[in-house]
Amino acid sequence: MKELINISGQQFYYSTIDEVIGRSSQKEKGAVIIDESYLRQFLTEGGNMIKETCQIIVISENVDSALSLLKGINVLLIAAETFEEGARIAIFGNMLSNKVICIPKEDEKTVNEILQAMGT
């Protein structure tokens, strides 16, 4: 995971799905912004990380598929159409978590640019 920016007391990180799965044994409370194409893998291989996640923001046009995957998991699920919208939602939810892991389809440079623009 790569540390990106701190916005309003929240530390944002960029990660690939493989990096997150590699850290699945760690207990880290926080929020996750994740592209729907990675959600199934995150939920099946995420281990302790899922139990410690209090908020999942899924980048998806249709949250119905995500709902069926989250059955039985106690987490706040929010859908966003774009990464930028998901980041805004995470910032508005800063009372829920001070750590946000971003697992989008966008590359690290694009994610950093979006977050930098929001942080100014």
Q: What is the pLDDT of residues 78-103, one digit of tens each?
A: 889 999 999 999 998 877 788 899 99
Strand partners, 30: 53
Indicate the number of domains in the chain.
1
Residues in a beta bridge with 79: 58
Closest by Cα among 59, 64, 62, 24 to 41 = 24
Domain of residue 111, CATH code: 3.90.190.20
What is the reported pLDDT for 25? Answer: 47
User: Structural domain of residue 78, as residue ranges?
Assistant: 2-119
Strands 30-35 and 53-59: parallel
Q: Residues 31, 87: contact at Cβ < 8 Å?
A: no
User: In terms of pTM, does the model score above 0.85?
Assistant: yes
SS3 at position 108: helix
